[in-house]
Amino acid sequence: MAGPTTTAPPLRYLTAAFYLFVDLPDCAQFKAPLQALCEAEQVDGLILLAPEGINSTIAGPAQGVHTVLAWLRKQAPFTQLQHKESWSDKAPFRRMRVRIKKEIVTMGVPELRPASQAGHYVSAQDWNALIADPDVLLVDTRNDYEVELGTFERAINPRIQSFAQLPDWLQAQGLLDPDKPRKVAMFCTGGIRCEKSTALLRAKGLQEVYHLDGGILKYLETVAPDASRWQGECFVFDERVSVAHGVQTGSHQLCRCCRQPLPPGALVSIEFELGVSCPRCFSQTSETQKKSARERQRQWERAKAKAALRDSEDGPISHDDHATLNGHG
């Protein structure tokens, strides 16, 4: 006689990622109402507001997340806002922050206006045909540690450590010279960095510049694996660390110190210590900082053990407990 079947618990946390380049000179007026609404709806994450638009990833109960999105779309600047959704059984963020910035994605060229200057949008369905053209220069606009996990076939890795370094790389490659026009295609995780990158090329006078609409995440969501030209996994800036085709959680782990994915062989390296360091950041922190990280790791492990005990005795872990368990560091 077969034993009782068990059903996996439902995924309780909805993550919504969104951005919109839009002229927003009065961006500060949205800070307080957004902070209050998110807190009331138990929604955590980060919302950046700047004169060039909005950029955010938020997570929480589905009803709360959808309430925040609905409120935004009722505001005149954000009526065209689109978002991407994913689910998890753990809270990806520990608190809610709404910040005012000079740029929603820092390139160091605040005078750009991506809302009107961005290059040609190319859908995920049409992307393969574009990048198959040998005359197209395909540029990955992400940081080096992101590219390490995966990228498109024949894509160029600028080997930058921050997005703000990309303009100098483009200048050094001669890609900002309108007298030497090139056909350039750019891509990034969700679309925001490549959209701003193509705006820079357009502002310099280049015309044949393209970017992947919706970014890698939209491509992995809509293009079948057997038709894909993507290789590896895509780094994401939350507790999933990386995603694969179908936007399924990938196989990579995160260093809790530098918040970057663990490089190959990290777990057997003498420079790896859980919650303290990995081969990427070991030489960048002092012994005092490592000591502090060890204590923080011990506190987190104690909190996790207590929460697990409460869960076994009293039922499901609360939203606040999840925030504690997943927000250390």
* CA nearest to 217, candidates 185, 249, 264, 262: 249
Residue 279 CB contacts under 8 Å (≥ 6 apart), including other chains: 263, 265, 266, 269, 271, 272
Q: How far apart are CA 41 and CA 72, in angstroms?
A: 14
- Structure-block tokens of residue 294: 């060890």
The rounded distance, in Å, linking the Cα atoms of 160 and 163 is: 7
Residue 74 CB burial class (10 angstroms; 0-12, 13-18, ≥19): exposed
CB atoms within 10 A of CB 95: 11
Whole-angstrom distance, CA of residue 91 vs CA of residue 95? 10
Catalytic residue among 27, 38, 188, 257: 188
Cross-strand pairs, 94 = none
Cα 276 to Cα 54, 110, 215, distances in angstroms: 33, 35, 32
Both tokens of 10, joined, read 């439902």
User: What is the longest distance spanned by two Cα atoms in the chain?
Assistant: 78
**In the chain, which residue ranges form alpha helices assigned H by DSSP?**
31-40, 62-73, 114-117, 124-131, 144-147, 166-172, 192-203, 215-222, 287-314, 319-326
Respond yes or no: is residue 188 known to be catalytic. Answer: yes
The dihedrals phi and psi of 314, each to the nearest 5 degrees, come to -120, 0
Q: Residue 115 gets which letter from DSSP?
A: H
Which positions are annotated as active-site residues?
Answer: 188
